[in-house]
Amino acid sequence: MSLRLRIILLFVGLAIVPLLTLAAFSYWQSQSLLTGAVYAHLGETAGGLRGHLEVRSSEIEDALRAWGRSGLTEQGLGGGEQDVDLGAASDPWLRRAEFLEVSGPLASSPSLLGAIPDTPVRVTGQGTSTLLEFAVALPESEGGTSVRAAFWASDLLPAVDRASKHTVALLDAASGRVLFTQTAGTPMAGECGEVFPGFSEAMAGAANPSGEFKFKDQGESRFGAVEYLPHRGWAVVATSSSGAALASLNRLVAAYWAFVLGLALFTGLAFYIFLGRFTKSL
C-alpha cells in the first residue's frame, strides 16, 4: 500500500467518518426529543379532554339526581312520549339533553321527555358525534325514581385547538367504536359508529403510565396518546400524523445534512490538493 493511499485512509477514518457519525447521532437525538415533545403534547390534549369530560359527566349526574328527587313523576306522567319542552328545564345541562326517560313507583310506565333522534350521528362544527347516555337511580327512601338522559358528545367536549393539528376521538373502550371525533389536522379513516383504526394499539397504550402508542391508518404512521375512563367505559385518544409532526425536523435535517456533506466534500477536496502537493515533493 502506497504512502498516499495510507494517508487518505487515515484522513477518512479520523475526519470524515467521525463527522458523519456525529451528524447521524445528532439526527437521532433530535428525532427522539421531538417525538417525545409530540407525545407530551398529545398527552396534554387527551388529558385535558378526559378531565373536561369527567367534570361534565359529574355535573350531569348531579342534575339528574336533583331532578329525580324533585318528584317530576308526580306531575302526572302516564308513560309514553311526552310533549315537554326540555329547554324550559331549570338546570342548564338538562336543557341540552336530547331526551330524558323517567321511571319509578309514581309513573305507571317509563315516560320519555323529548324524542330519540332518528339519525344516530350528528355533524357540527364541534365534530362528528353520537349520543352519550347517563343514568341514575335513586333509592326507595328518596322516591325510587330512575332517570336516563342522552346528550350529543359534541355538546360535552370542547373544540380542539386548530393550531395543534391533532385529531381527537372518544371511544367505547369495550368495542373500540368511535363515539366522537374531531380533527384539526389530517383526518383518520374511522368515523362515528366505526371501530377506531388503532384500537388495539390504543388499549395497549392505556396499560402504560405514559399512554403513548403508535399505529398505522391507511398506510400512514400516526402518533397517539390515550386517557382511559374505566368507570365510564370510555377512552379519549389524541393522534397526529407522524409526517406532519416531524415535518419541521425533516426540513432541518435536510439542511443539516447538506451542510455536513458540503463540509466533508470541501474538507476532502482541500486535503486532496494538499496531499498532492505534499507527496509531489517526496
Q: Position 246: which residue type?
A: L
DSSP-derived pairing of the beta strands 99-103 and 122-124: unpaired
Which pLDDT value is given to residue 281? 55
Which pLDDT value is given to residue 81? 45
pTM of the complete model: 0.71
CA distance 1 to 277: 19
User: What nine digits make up the cell of 261?
Assistant: 456533506
Per-residue model confidence as pLDDT tens digits over 17-64: 777 777 777 777 777 777 888 888 888 888 999 999 999 999 999 888
CA distance 15 to 273: 16
User: What nine digits make up the cell of 182?
Assistant: 374531531
Q: Confidence band (pLDDT; 50, 70, 90) for 73?
A: very low
In the block, which residue shows the cell 409530540? 38
- What is the pLDDT of the chain when averaged over all its residues? 75
Query: By the 8 A CB rule, do 214 and 195 touch?
Result: no
Which pLDDT value is given to residue 85? 46
